[in-house]
Amino acid sequence: MFHTKASGRVPHGQGRGARRTLLGGVAVRRGALGVLAVLMLAVTVPATASAKPQPVQWAALGDSYTSGVFVGAPSPPLGSPDRDGCARTTGSYPYLVERGLAAHPPAGRAVRLTDVGCGNATINEITVERQTPIDPVQEPSGGWPGVAPQVDRAHVRASTGLVTIGVGVNTLPIADMEEACLLLGTGRPDRATPCRDAYENGGPPLDHESIHAKYDRITRQYGAMLRAVRQRAPHAKIVTVGYPTIFPADARGCDRHDPTELATRLVGGELVSMTHGDIAWLHGVITHVNAIIRSLTERYGDTYVDTATSSVGHDACRSRATKWVQGFCGQAAPYWPTEIALVHVTMVCSGGNRATIVHPDAAGQANIAAQVEAAVRAAVCPRRKSWGVAGGTGAGRCLRVGHP
């Protein structure tokens, strides 16, 4: 801060040089006024240059692939009165990205996360419908109370600078389809496609809807959802997140007797499993859903994050050390149950495994986080060639050096 004393005298030797042009050509005739003008500039210019940019308000919306489910510690923690049944965890990709951005703020800008991802969320529950959460951990005796649409919970509005959205497959709904494929595939030859055949012809007995009708519904609702988010946050960067490679394109390596892959045991001991033909078909279903999300995202001028390409070879049928998606049973924190109800049947896991019901593990969430963080940095950073250059330092660095 500069401190000056007012004076009516012109200091000796400054009178002749005081007549000069300042601030667009205005002649200043008195030396004291010239000194005062210079001091005013000295005060105001550094203050403007040193002002920190406003934080970016980030709303993370999505389903269980966003919330984390069993990866990391529950958030809010177990026993907290703030738990809402959405199964958010500290190992989910929004939390991982938040930590990465905090360690290296993009262009010196802080990013403030509001994460309202919720397991089992559908497309409509992002913007227009209330959701009844289904987290099996510490569920109240009367079930979890309903929660508002996610855009309301995250306070998405004109001041929101960034919205990430990971949603889509629960609008199929994928849980019904997985259960149908397990039940229809049991006892059938590996190459058979009873699940595909049923969904291509009106749907199986427990899910009377063709796959084509499901695709049409996702297309309508996803487009409406993107328009609604844009209306609420007209200045935000919208980033949609696709699904990773969950099912292999070639399922011949899947073990139909292994519950840590795409088979499981029901209460009572019966082993049920998908056929190789239906597993490959489900790979195509997820690929098609991703294509719908990408097409609509790009149509509206937003950013799509591809998590499938980077996760090829890490699907639910891989070895424990290689997979990034756990099978119906798999590795999870001790708080997660070993028994869980699907849609019409209840599955149970043993041998130290938990009911992971085909979800990303810690490595899977880390891979999604890497792709999302890169997209977030690109969205937040100013569009200048000098930003985001590998090896950049200080507040100007946008892309993390050595980021995957």
The number of C-alpha atoms within 13 Å of 105 and in the hemisphere containing its C-beta is 15
Check if the beta carbon of residue 326 is closer than 8 Å to that of residue 259.
no
Place of tokens 């667009």: 24
Q: Cα dist. 5→2, 15, 35, 95 in Å?
A: 10, 18, 11, 53
246 in helix, strand or coil?
coil
Q: What is the crossing angle of helices 211-232 and 276-299, to 10°?
A: 30
pLDDT, position 52: 75
CA distance 290 to 308: 9
382 in helix, strand or coil?
coil
pLDDT, position 397: 57
CA distance 166 to 306: 11
The first and second tokens of residue 285, run together, are 């279903």
pLDDT, position 107: 86
pLDDT, position 391: 35
Check if the beta carbon of residue 37 is closer than 8 Å to that of residue 28.
yes
pTM of the model: 0.85
Domain ranges of the chain: 16-49, 56-252+274-313+362-382
The number of C-alpha atoms within 13 Å of 318 and in the hemisphere containing its C-beta is 20
CA distance 13 to 172: 84
pLDDT, position 28: 39
Specify the CATH number for 56-252+274-313+362-382; select among 3.40.50.300, 1.20.1250.20, 2.40.50.140, 3.40.50.1110: 3.40.50.1110
pLDDT in single tens digits along all 404 residues of the chain: 434 333 443 344 444 444 333 333 334 344 444 444 444 444 444 444 456 788 999 999 999 999 999 999 999 999 999 999 999 999 999 999 999 999 999 988 999 999 999 999 999 999 999 999 999 999 999 999 999 999 999 999 999 999 999 999 999 999 999 999 999 999 999 999 999 999 999 999 999 999 999 999 999 999 999 999 999 999 999 999 999 999 999 999 999 999 999 999 999 999 999 999 999 999 999 999 999 999 999 999 999 999 999 999 999 999 999 999 999 999 999 999 999 999 999 999 999 999 999 999 999 999 999 999 999 999 998 765 433 333 333 334 566 533 43
